[in-house]
Structure 1
Protein backbone atom coordinates (compact mmCIF):
# COMPACT_ATOMS: atom_id res chain seq x y z
CA UNK A 1 0.00 0.00 0.00
CA UNK A 2 1.41 3.39 -0.97
CA UNK A 3 0.36 7.00 -1.41
CA UNK A 4 0.80 9.01 -4.59
CA UNK A 5 1.12 12.80 -4.40
CA UNK A 6 -0.13 14.76 -7.39
CA UNK A 7 1.70 18.09 -7.26
CA UNK A 8 -0.05 19.72 -10.22
CA UNK A 9 -3.61 18.34 -10.30
CA UNK A 10 -5.81 19.13 -13.25
CA UNK A 11 -9.55 19.35 -13.83
CA UNK A 12 -12.46 21.48 -12.68
CA UNK A 13 -12.42 20.13 -9.11
CA UNK A 14 -8.74 20.90 -8.64
CA UNK A 15 -9.25 24.38 -10.07
CA UNK A 16 -12.17 25.03 -7.70
CA UNK A 17 -10.12 23.95 -4.68
CA UNK A 18 -7.22 26.19 -5.73
CA UNK A 19 -9.48 29.22 -6.13
CA UNK A 20 -11.16 28.56 -2.79
CA UNK A 21 -7.78 28.30 -1.05
CA UNK A 22 -6.64 31.60 -2.54
CA UNK A 23 -9.85 33.30 -1.38
CA UNK A 24 -9.36 31.95 2.15
CA UNK A 25 -5.83 33.37 2.19
CA UNK A 26 -7.04 36.76 0.93
CA UNK A 27 -9.81 36.89 3.54
CA UNK A 28 -7.34 35.99 6.29
CA UNK A 29 -4.88 38.67 5.20
CA UNK A 30 -7.66 41.27 5.02
CA UNK A 31 -8.69 40.37 8.58
CA UNK A 32 -5.10 40.71 9.81
CA UNK A 33 -4.83 44.17 8.26
CA UNK A 34 -8.17 45.18 9.76
CA UNK A 35 -7.13 44.07 13.26
CA UNK A 36 -3.82 45.94 13.00
CA UNK A 37 -5.44 49.16 11.78
CA UNK A 38 -4.89 51.79 14.56
CA UNK A 39 -8.37 53.17 13.92
CA UNK A 40 -9.84 49.83 15.00
CA UNK A 41 -8.79 50.52 18.61
CA UNK A 42 -11.08 53.55 18.86
CA UNK A 43 -14.28 51.83 17.74
CA UNK A 44 -16.91 50.56 20.16
CA UNK A 45 -18.49 47.18 19.61
CA UNK A 46 -21.10 45.10 21.43
CA UNK A 47 -21.05 41.73 23.15
CA UNK A 48 -23.26 39.97 20.61
CA UNK A 49 -20.74 39.87 17.71
CA UNK A 50 -17.98 38.77 20.11
CA UNK A 51 -20.08 35.80 21.24
CA UNK A 52 -20.57 34.80 17.60
CA UNK A 53 -16.86 34.75 16.75
CA UNK A 54 -15.10 31.39 16.42
CA UNK A 55 -11.53 30.22 16.90
CA UNK A 56 -10.76 30.06 13.17
CA UNK A 57 -11.66 33.72 12.49
CA UNK A 58 -10.16 35.31 15.62
CA UNK A 59 -6.58 36.54 16.00
CA UNK A 60 -4.64 36.47 19.26
CA UNK A 61 -3.84 40.19 19.00
CA UNK A 62 -7.48 41.26 18.55
CA UNK A 63 -8.72 43.94 20.95
CA UNK A 64 -12.28 45.21 21.25
CA UNK A 65 -13.70 48.11 23.24
CA UNK A 66 -16.97 47.73 25.11
CA UNK A 67 -18.99 50.14 27.21
CA UNK A 68 -20.75 48.02 29.79
CA UNK A 69 -22.38 47.83 33.20
CA UNK A 70 -22.17 45.13 35.86
CA UNK A 71 -25.86 44.56 36.67
CA UNK A 72 -25.61 41.76 39.23
CA UNK A 73 -22.40 41.88 41.24
CA UNK A 74 -22.20 39.14 43.89
CA UNK A 75 -20.21 39.46 47.10
CA UNK A 76 -19.08 35.83 46.98
CA UNK A 77 -17.40 36.58 43.63
CA UNK A 78 -15.19 39.23 45.24
CA UNK A 79 -12.13 37.56 46.76
CA UNK A 80 -9.92 39.81 48.89
CA UNK A 81 -6.85 38.19 50.38
CA UNK A 82 -3.22 38.65 51.37
CA UNK A 83 -0.94 37.43 48.62
CA UNK A 84 2.51 37.40 47.12
CA UNK A 85 3.50 40.73 45.58
CA UNK A 86 5.07 38.95 42.60
CA UNK A 87 2.90 35.96 41.75
CA UNK A 88 -0.61 36.68 43.15
CA UNK A 89 -0.59 33.48 45.22
CA UNK A 90 -2.24 33.68 48.64
CA UNK A 91 0.10 33.96 51.61
CA UNK A 92 -0.32 33.06 55.27
CA UNK A 93 1.86 36.01 56.27
CA UNK A 94 0.83 39.33 57.91
CA UNK A 95 0.47 42.29 55.56
CA UNK A 96 3.62 44.18 54.56
CA UNK A 97 5.90 41.41 55.85
CA UNK A 98 8.75 40.20 53.62
CA UNK A 99 9.05 36.45 53.14
CA UNK A 100 10.18 33.71 50.76
CA UNK A 101 7.35 32.51 48.53
CA UNK A 102 7.17 28.71 48.80
CA UNK A 103 5.31 28.40 45.51
CA UNK A 104 8.23 29.67 43.44
CA UNK A 105 11.08 29.78 45.98
CA UNK A 106 11.27 33.51 45.39
CA UNK A 107 12.90 35.67 48.06
CA UNK A 108 11.96 39.19 49.15
CA UNK A 109 8.26 38.80 48.38
CA UNK A 110 5.95 41.14 50.28
CA UNK A 111 2.58 40.06 51.64
CA UNK A 112 0.15 42.56 50.11
CA UNK A 113 -3.63 42.99 49.96
CA UNK A 114 -4.89 41.61 46.67
CA UNK A 115 -8.34 41.21 45.20
CA UNK A 116 -10.05 39.41 42.33
CA UNK A 117 -13.60 39.98 41.20
CA UNK A 118 -15.53 37.74 38.81
CA UNK A 119 -18.73 39.01 37.25
CA UNK A 120 -20.86 39.22 34.15
CA UNK A 121 -20.87 42.49 32.23
CA UNK A 122 -23.68 43.57 29.91
CA UNK A 123 -24.47 46.20 27.31
CA UNK A 124 -27.95 45.02 26.44
CA UNK A 125 -26.88 42.67 23.62
CA UNK A 126 -25.62 39.84 25.82
CA UNK A 127 -23.59 38.90 28.88
CA UNK A 128 -19.84 38.33 29.05
CA UNK A 129 -18.06 36.68 32.00
CA UNK A 130 -14.87 38.50 33.05
CA UNK A 131 -12.45 38.52 35.97
CA UNK A 132 -10.95 41.75 37.30
CA UNK A 133 -7.58 41.36 39.01
CA UNK A 134 -6.11 43.74 41.56
CA UNK A 135 -4.92 46.64 39.37
CA UNK A 136 -8.05 46.63 37.19
CA UNK A 137 -10.38 46.36 40.18
CA UNK A 138 -8.60 49.31 41.80
CA UNK A 139 -9.25 51.36 38.65
CA UNK A 140 -12.86 50.21 38.56
CA UNK A 141 -13.64 51.32 42.12
CA UNK A 142 -11.05 54.11 42.28
CA UNK A 143 -9.81 52.63 45.54
CA UNK A 144 -6.58 51.00 46.60
CA UNK A 145 -6.41 47.26 47.28
CA UNK A 146 -5.87 47.82 51.05
CA UNK A 147 -9.05 49.95 51.19
CA UNK A 148 -11.03 47.32 49.28
CA UNK A 149 -9.62 44.67 51.61
CA UNK A 150 -10.87 46.59 54.66
CA UNK A 151 -14.42 47.11 53.38
CA UNK A 152 -14.91 43.81 51.55
CA UNK A 153 -17.78 42.79 53.85
CA UNK A 154 -19.13 46.07 55.20
CA UNK A 155 -19.63 48.12 52.04
CA UNK A 156 -20.37 45.65 49.25
CA UNK A 157 -23.94 46.88 48.79
CA UNK A 158 -22.57 50.34 48.01
CA UNK A 159 -20.09 48.79 45.58
CA UNK A 160 -22.88 46.80 43.96
CA UNK A 161 -24.99 49.93 43.47
CA UNK A 162 -22.01 51.78 41.97
CA UNK A 163 -21.27 48.99 39.49
CA UNK A 164 -24.91 48.55 38.53
CA UNK A 165 -25.39 52.23 37.69
CA UNK A 166 -22.02 53.16 36.20
CA UNK A 167 -21.01 52.62 32.59
CA UNK A 168 -17.40 51.52 32.27
CA UNK A 169 -15.17 51.42 29.22
CA UNK A 170 -13.13 48.23 28.91
CA UNK A 171 -10.93 46.47 26.41
CA UNK A 172 -11.18 42.71 25.91
CA UNK A 173 -9.19 40.22 23.90
CA UNK A 174 -8.71 36.46 23.48
CA UNK A 175 -7.07 34.48 26.27
CA UNK A 176 -3.66 32.98 25.49
CA UNK A 177 -5.35 29.59 25.14
CA UNK A 178 -6.39 30.68 21.64
CA UNK A 179 -2.87 30.44 20.24
CA UNK A 180 -1.88 27.48 22.44
CA UNK A 181 -4.93 25.20 22.41
CA UNK A 182 -7.17 26.88 19.81
CA UNK A 183 -9.77 27.66 22.50
CA UNK A 184 -11.50 31.05 22.34
CA UNK A 185 -12.32 32.78 25.61
CA UNK A 186 -12.62 36.56 25.99
CA UNK A 187 -10.77 38.11 28.93
CA UNK A 188 -10.34 41.63 30.29
CA UNK A 189 -7.22 43.31 28.95
CA UNK A 190 -7.63 46.69 30.62
CA UNK A 191 -10.01 49.34 31.88
CA UNK A 192 -9.69 52.54 29.87
CA UNK A 193 -9.46 55.52 32.21
CA UNK A 194 -7.66 58.00 29.96
CA UNK A 195 -9.56 59.19 26.88
CA UNK A 196 -6.41 60.87 25.54
CA UNK A 197 -4.88 57.43 25.09
CA UNK A 198 -7.43 56.77 22.36
CA UNK A 199 -7.48 60.27 20.88
CA UNK A 200 -10.90 61.20 22.23
CA UNK A 201 -11.91 64.86 22.30
CA UNK A 202 -13.78 64.34 25.55
CA UNK A 203 -11.97 65.09 28.78
CA UNK A 204 -14.59 63.27 30.84
CA UNK A 205 -13.41 60.17 32.63
CA UNK A 206 -15.05 57.31 30.68
CA UNK A 207 -15.39 55.14 33.77
CA UNK A 208 -18.03 57.59 35.03
CA UNK A 209 -19.54 58.46 31.68
CA UNK A 210 -23.22 57.60 31.38
CA UNK A 211 -23.75 58.92 27.88
CA UNK A 212 -22.11 58.68 24.50
CA UNK A 213 -21.61 61.83 22.46
CA UNK A 214 -21.28 60.10 19.09
CA UNK A 215 -24.75 59.73 17.47
CA UNK A 216 -23.57 56.52 15.78
CA UNK A 217 -23.19 54.98 19.24
CA UNK A 218 -26.68 55.92 20.46
CA UNK A 219 -27.97 52.38 20.10
CA UNK A 220 -25.21 51.06 22.35
CA UNK A 221 -26.04 53.75 24.90
CA UNK A 222 -29.72 52.71 24.89
CA UNK A 223 -28.77 49.09 25.41
CA UNK A 224 -26.63 50.08 28.39
CA UNK A 225 -29.53 51.86 30.03
CA UNK A 226 -31.72 48.77 29.61
CA UNK A 227 -28.97 46.57 31.08
CA UNK A 228 -28.59 48.88 34.08
CA UNK A 229 -32.32 49.12 34.82
CA UNK A 230 -33.25 45.56 33.95
CA UNK A 231 -35.81 46.67 31.35
CA UNK A 232 -36.63 44.30 28.53
Structure 2
Protein backbone atom coordinates (compact mmCIF):
# COMPACT_ATOMS: atom_id res chain seq x y z
CA UNK A 1 0.00 0.00 0.00
CA UNK A 2 1.33 3.47 -0.91
CA UNK A 3 0.62 6.62 1.07
CA UNK A 4 1.35 10.11 -0.19
CA UNK A 5 4.33 11.63 1.62
CA UNK A 6 6.27 14.86 1.09
CA UNK A 7 8.06 13.78 -2.09
CA UNK A 8 8.11 9.98 -2.00
CA UNK A 9 5.15 7.65 -1.53
CA UNK A 10 5.44 5.85 1.80
CA UNK A 11 4.90 2.10 1.77
CA UNK A 12 2.85 0.55 4.58
CA UNK A 13 2.79 -3.25 4.65
CA UNK A 14 -0.46 -4.53 6.15
CA UNK A 15 -0.41 -8.01 7.71
CA UNK A 16 -2.71 -10.59 9.28
CA UNK A 17 -6.20 -9.50 10.40
CA UNK A 18 -5.79 -5.97 9.03
CA UNK A 19 -5.73 -7.31 5.47
CA UNK A 20 -9.50 -7.91 5.63
CA UNK A 21 -12.48 -5.68 4.95
CA UNK A 22 -11.06 -2.47 6.41
CA UNK A 23 -7.79 -2.58 4.47
CA UNK A 24 -9.65 -3.45 1.25
CA UNK A 25 -10.90 0.12 1.38
CA UNK A 26 -7.34 1.28 0.69
CA UNK A 27 -6.85 -0.70 -2.52
CA UNK A 28 -8.84 1.69 -4.72
CA UNK A 29 -7.22 4.71 -6.30
CA UNK A 30 -10.55 5.98 -7.62
CA UNK A 31 -12.53 8.76 -5.93
CA UNK A 32 -11.51 11.37 -3.36
CA UNK A 33 -8.31 10.94 -1.38
CA UNK A 34 -8.81 8.85 1.76
CA UNK A 35 -7.80 10.04 5.19
CA UNK A 36 -7.29 7.05 7.48
CA UNK A 37 -5.33 6.38 10.61
CA UNK A 38 -2.93 3.69 11.86
CA UNK A 39 -1.46 3.30 15.32
CA UNK A 40 1.61 1.33 16.47
CA UNK A 41 3.33 0.88 13.11
CA UNK A 42 6.84 -0.56 12.93
CA UNK A 43 9.49 1.30 10.86
CA UNK A 44 12.00 -0.37 8.57
CA UNK A 45 14.95 1.12 6.67
CA UNK A 46 16.27 -2.04 4.98
CA UNK A 47 15.22 -0.91 1.47
CA UNK A 48 14.37 2.70 2.14
CA UNK A 49 12.09 3.92 4.89
CA UNK A 50 8.78 2.04 5.16
CA UNK A 51 6.25 1.01 7.79
CA UNK A 52 4.47 -2.24 8.59
CA UNK A 53 1.67 -3.27 10.89
CA UNK A 54 2.22 -5.26 14.09
CA UNK A 55 0.02 -7.21 16.50
CA UNK A 56 -0.68 -3.90 18.27
CA UNK A 57 -1.64 -1.92 15.17
CA UNK A 58 -5.17 -0.58 14.89
CA UNK A 59 -6.85 0.89 11.81
CA UNK A 60 -9.17 3.91 11.89
CA UNK A 61 -11.42 4.41 8.88
CA UNK A 62 -12.50 7.93 9.87
CA UNK A 63 -9.98 9.45 12.29
CA UNK A 64 -11.10 12.49 14.23
CA UNK A 65 -9.22 15.52 15.49
CA UNK A 66 -7.69 18.75 14.25
CA UNK A 67 -4.88 17.08 12.31
CA UNK A 68 -7.22 14.71 10.48
CA UNK A 69 -9.59 17.60 9.66
CA UNK A 70 -6.70 19.71 8.38
CA UNK A 71 -5.53 16.85 6.14
CA UNK A 72 -9.04 16.41 4.72
CA UNK A 73 -9.24 20.12 3.99
CA UNK A 74 -5.81 20.08 2.31
CA UNK A 75 -6.73 17.08 0.15
CA UNK A 76 -9.86 18.86 -1.06
CA UNK A 77 -7.99 22.07 -1.86
CA UNK A 78 -5.10 20.23 -3.55
CA UNK A 79 -7.24 17.73 -5.46
CA UNK A 80 -5.37 18.29 -8.75
CA UNK A 81 -1.99 17.80 -7.04
CA UNK A 82 -3.17 14.61 -5.30
CA UNK A 83 -4.51 13.17 -8.56
CA UNK A 84 -1.27 14.01 -10.36
CA UNK A 85 0.77 12.22 -7.69
CA UNK A 86 -1.51 9.19 -7.79
CA UNK A 87 -1.23 8.97 -11.58
CA UNK A 88 2.56 9.25 -11.41
CA UNK A 89 2.81 6.48 -8.82
CA UNK A 90 0.58 4.22 -10.92
CA UNK A 91 2.64 4.96 -14.02
CA UNK A 92 5.86 4.00 -12.25
CA UNK A 93 4.43 0.86 -10.64
CA UNK A 94 2.69 -0.33 -13.83
CA UNK A 95 4.78 0.90 -16.78
CA UNK A 96 3.34 0.46 -20.25
CA UNK A 97 6.75 0.44 -21.98
CA UNK A 98 8.65 -2.30 -20.17
CA UNK A 99 11.75 -2.08 -22.37
CA UNK A 100 11.95 1.62 -23.20
CA UNK A 101 15.61 2.63 -23.32
CA UNK A 102 16.61 6.02 -21.93
CA UNK A 103 19.88 7.85 -22.47
CA UNK A 104 22.38 8.57 -19.72
CA UNK A 105 21.89 12.23 -20.54
CA UNK A 106 18.17 12.00 -19.69
CA UNK A 107 18.89 10.03 -16.51
CA UNK A 108 21.22 12.78 -15.33
CA UNK A 109 18.42 15.34 -15.74
CA UNK A 110 16.35 13.60 -13.06
CA UNK A 111 16.28 15.17 -9.61
CA UNK A 112 15.15 14.22 -6.12
CA UNK A 113 11.88 16.11 -6.48
CA UNK A 114 10.73 14.34 -9.67
CA UNK A 115 12.07 10.81 -9.10
CA UNK A 116 10.27 8.02 -7.26
CA UNK A 117 11.95 5.22 -5.34
CA UNK A 118 10.12 2.58 -7.41
CA UNK A 119 11.35 3.84 -10.80
CA UNK A 120 13.16 1.43 -13.11
CA UNK A 121 14.86 2.48 -16.35
CA UNK A 122 16.89 0.70 -19.03
CA UNK A 123 20.01 2.22 -20.57
CA UNK A 124 22.14 0.73 -23.37
CA UNK A 125 25.82 0.97 -22.56
CA UNK A 126 29.36 -0.29 -22.93
CA UNK A 127 32.17 -0.25 -20.39
CA UNK A 128 35.06 1.36 -22.31
CA UNK A 129 37.81 0.50 -19.80
CA UNK A 130 36.77 -2.33 -17.47
CA UNK A 131 39.40 -2.85 -14.78
CA UNK A 132 40.25 -6.16 -13.14
CA UNK A 133 41.24 -4.29 -9.97
CA UNK A 134 37.64 -3.10 -9.52
CA UNK A 135 36.37 -6.66 -8.93
CA UNK A 136 35.96 -7.52 -5.24
CA UNK A 137 35.18 -11.03 -3.99
CA UNK A 138 34.19 -11.99 -0.45
CA UNK A 139 32.00 -14.34 1.59
CA UNK A 140 28.62 -12.89 2.50
CA UNK A 141 25.04 -13.56 3.45
CA UNK A 142 23.05 -15.09 0.60
CA UNK A 143 20.07 -12.92 1.57
CA UNK A 144 21.43 -9.39 2.12
CA UNK A 145 24.97 -9.76 0.80
CA UNK A 146 26.71 -8.38 3.90
CA UNK A 147 30.11 -9.82 4.77
CA UNK A 148 30.49 -12.73 7.17
CA UNK A 149 33.41 -14.61 8.69
CA UNK A 150 31.54 -17.91 8.30
CA UNK A 151 32.84 -20.62 5.96
CA UNK A 152 31.20 -21.06 2.56
CA UNK A 153 28.06 -23.16 2.86
CA UNK A 154 27.61 -22.54 6.59
CA UNK A 155 24.15 -21.70 7.91
CA UNK A 156 23.92 -18.76 10.32
CA UNK A 157 21.67 -16.02 11.69
CA UNK A 158 22.60 -12.80 9.90
CA UNK A 159 22.86 -9.80 12.21
CA UNK A 160 22.34 -7.41 9.30
CA UNK A 161 19.10 -8.71 7.76
CA UNK A 162 17.94 -10.39 10.99
CA UNK A 163 17.07 -13.66 9.27
CA UNK A 164 17.70 -17.19 10.48
CA UNK A 165 19.09 -19.91 8.24
CA UNK A 166 21.14 -17.65 5.97
CA UNK A 167 23.92 -19.31 3.98
CA UNK A 168 27.48 -18.03 3.66
CA UNK A 169 28.13 -17.76 -0.09
CA UNK A 170 30.64 -16.21 -2.52
CA UNK A 171 29.70 -12.60 -3.32
CA UNK A 172 31.02 -10.29 -6.05
CA UNK A 173 31.07 -6.54 -6.65
CA UNK A 174 32.35 -4.77 -9.75
CA UNK A 175 32.67 -0.99 -10.05
CA UNK A 176 32.73 0.41 -13.59
CA UNK A 177 32.31 3.53 -15.70
CA UNK A 178 29.62 3.16 -18.39
CA UNK A 179 28.89 5.23 -21.48
CA UNK A 180 26.22 5.36 -24.17
CA UNK A 181 27.53 8.23 -26.28
CA UNK A 182 25.40 10.86 -24.51
CA UNK A 183 27.21 10.74 -21.19
CA UNK A 184 29.03 8.66 -18.60
CA UNK A 185 27.96 7.21 -15.25
CA UNK A 186 29.65 5.12 -12.59
CA UNK A 187 27.92 2.04 -11.20
CA UNK A 188 28.66 -0.84 -8.85
CA UNK A 189 27.26 -4.20 -9.94
CA UNK A 190 26.59 -6.84 -7.30
CA UNK A 191 26.61 -10.62 -7.43
CA UNK A 192 23.56 -11.30 -9.61
CA UNK A 193 24.50 -8.65 -12.18
CA UNK A 194 28.17 -9.69 -12.13
CA UNK A 195 27.23 -13.27 -12.97
CA UNK A 196 25.43 -12.07 -16.10
CA UNK A 197 28.12 -9.55 -17.06
CA UNK A 198 30.92 -12.09 -16.70
CA UNK A 199 28.81 -15.10 -17.82
CA UNK A 200 30.09 -17.07 -14.84
CA UNK A 201 28.65 -18.26 -11.54
CA UNK A 202 29.72 -16.33 -8.45
CA UNK A 203 31.37 -19.43 -6.97
CA UNK A 204 33.37 -19.93 -10.17
CA UNK A 205 34.52 -16.29 -10.20
CA UNK A 206 35.44 -16.48 -6.53
CA UNK A 207 37.39 -19.74 -6.86
CA UNK A 208 39.31 -18.67 -9.98
CA UNK A 209 40.32 -15.34 -8.49
CA UNK A 210 41.41 -17.07 -5.26
CA UNK A 211 43.47 -19.56 -7.31
CA UNK A 212 44.98 -16.83 -9.49
CA UNK A 213 43.62 -18.30 -12.73
CA UNK A 214 40.81 -15.84 -13.47
CA UNK A 215 40.99 -14.68 -17.11
CA UNK A 216 39.53 -11.20 -17.30
CA UNK A 217 40.84 -10.17 -20.75
CA UNK A 218 38.09 -11.82 -22.87
CA UNK A 219 35.43 -10.54 -20.44
CA UNK A 220 36.86 -7.02 -20.64
CA UNK A 221 36.87 -7.17 -24.44
CA UNK A 222 33.19 -8.16 -24.53
CA UNK A 223 32.19 -5.48 -22.02
CA UNK A 224 34.00 -2.76 -23.93
CA UNK A 225 32.87 -3.69 -27.44
CA UNK A 226 29.35 -5.16 -27.10
CA UNK A 227 26.55 -2.84 -25.92
CA UNK A 228 24.22 -4.36 -23.34
CA UNK A 229 21.10 -3.26 -21.50
CA UNK A 230 21.39 -2.25 -17.86
CA UNK A 231 18.32 -1.65 -15.75
CA UNK A 232 18.90 0.95 -13.06
CA UNK A 233 16.88 2.27 -10.13
CA UNK A 234 17.32 4.95 -7.46
CA UNK A 235 19.39 3.84 -4.49
CA UNK A 236 17.62 3.60 -1.15
CA UNK A 237 19.27 6.88 -0.10
CA UNK A 238 16.50 8.60 -2.07
CA UNK A 239 13.80 7.51 0.38
CA UNK A 240 16.08 7.62 3.41
CA UNK A 241 17.99 10.87 2.95
CA UNK A 242 16.66 12.51 -0.24
CA UNK A 243 19.93 11.76 -2.06
CA UNK A 244 19.59 10.52 -5.65
CA UNK A 245 22.01 7.85 -6.83
CA UNK A 246 21.45 5.07 -9.38
CA UNK A 247 22.16 1.37 -8.86
CA UNK A 248 22.02 -1.63 -11.26
CA UNK A 249 19.05 -3.99 -10.97
CA UNK A 250 19.30 -6.23 -14.03
CA UNK A 251 21.47 -6.94 -17.08
CA UNK A 252 20.44 -8.10 -20.54
CA UNK A 253 22.71 -9.00 -23.42
CA UNK A 254 21.33 -8.42 -26.92
**TM-score, length-scaled by structure 1:** 0.64
Count of aligned pairs: 174
- Per the alignment, residue 200 of structure 2 pairs with 143
- Per the alignment, residue 251 of structure 2 pairs with 191
- Per the alignment, residue 48 of structure 1 pairs with 105
Question: Is residue 115–residue 145 contact of structure 1 (8 Å, CA) maintained in 2?
Answer: yes
Alignment of 1:54-93 (within 5 A): 54-93=111-150
- Per the alignment, residue 167 of structure 1 pairs with 227
- Per the alignment, residue 12 of structure 1 pairs with none
Superposed CA offset, 1:6-25 (max 9, x none): xxxxxxxxxxxxxxx88877
Question: Residue 97 of structure 1: CA displacement?
Answer: 3.5
Question: Is residue 134–residue 175 contact of structure 2 (8 Å, CA) maintained in 1?
Answer: yes
For residues 139 and 174 of structure 1, the distance between their equivalents in structure 2, rounded to whole angstroms, comes to: 21
Question: Residue 96 of structure 1: CA displacement?
Answer: 2.4
1:155 to 215, 222, 225: 215
Question: Is residue 230–residue 250 contact of structure 2 (8 Å, CA) maintained in 1?
Answer: yes
For residues 128 and 103 of structure 2, the distance between their equivalents in structure 1, rounded to whole angstroms, comes to: 16
Task: Name structure 1 gaps, 5 residues minimum.
Answer: 1-20, 193-206, 210-232
Question: Residue 26 of structure 1: CA displacement?
Answer: 7.4
Superposition RMSD on alpha carbons, in Å? 2.8
Question: Is residue 80–residue 149 contact of structure 1 (8 Å, CA) maintained in 2?
Answer: yes
Task: Say if 1:150 and 1:165 are closer, same or farther in 2 by CA, change over 3 A.
Answer: farther
Superposed CA offset, 1:37-58 (max 9, x none): 6323221110001111111111
Q: Which structure features the higher share of helix residues?
A: 1
Question: Residue 169 of structure 1: CA displacement?
Answer: 1.1
Superposed CA offset, 1:170-189 (max 9, x none): 21111122122211111112
Range with bigger deviation, 49-58 or 107-116: 107-116
Higher relative CO (Cα under 8 Å, sequence separation at least 6) belongs to 1
Task: Name structure 2 gaps, 5 residues minimum.
Answer: 1-77
Task: Say if 1:27 and 1:104 are closer, same or farther in 2 by CA, change over 3 A.
Answer: closer
Question: Residue 30 of structure 1: CA displacement?
Answer: 6.2
For residues 107 and 50 of structure 1, the distance between their equivalents in structure 2, rounded to whole angstroms, comes to: 38
Q: Which structure features the higher share of strand residues?
A: 2
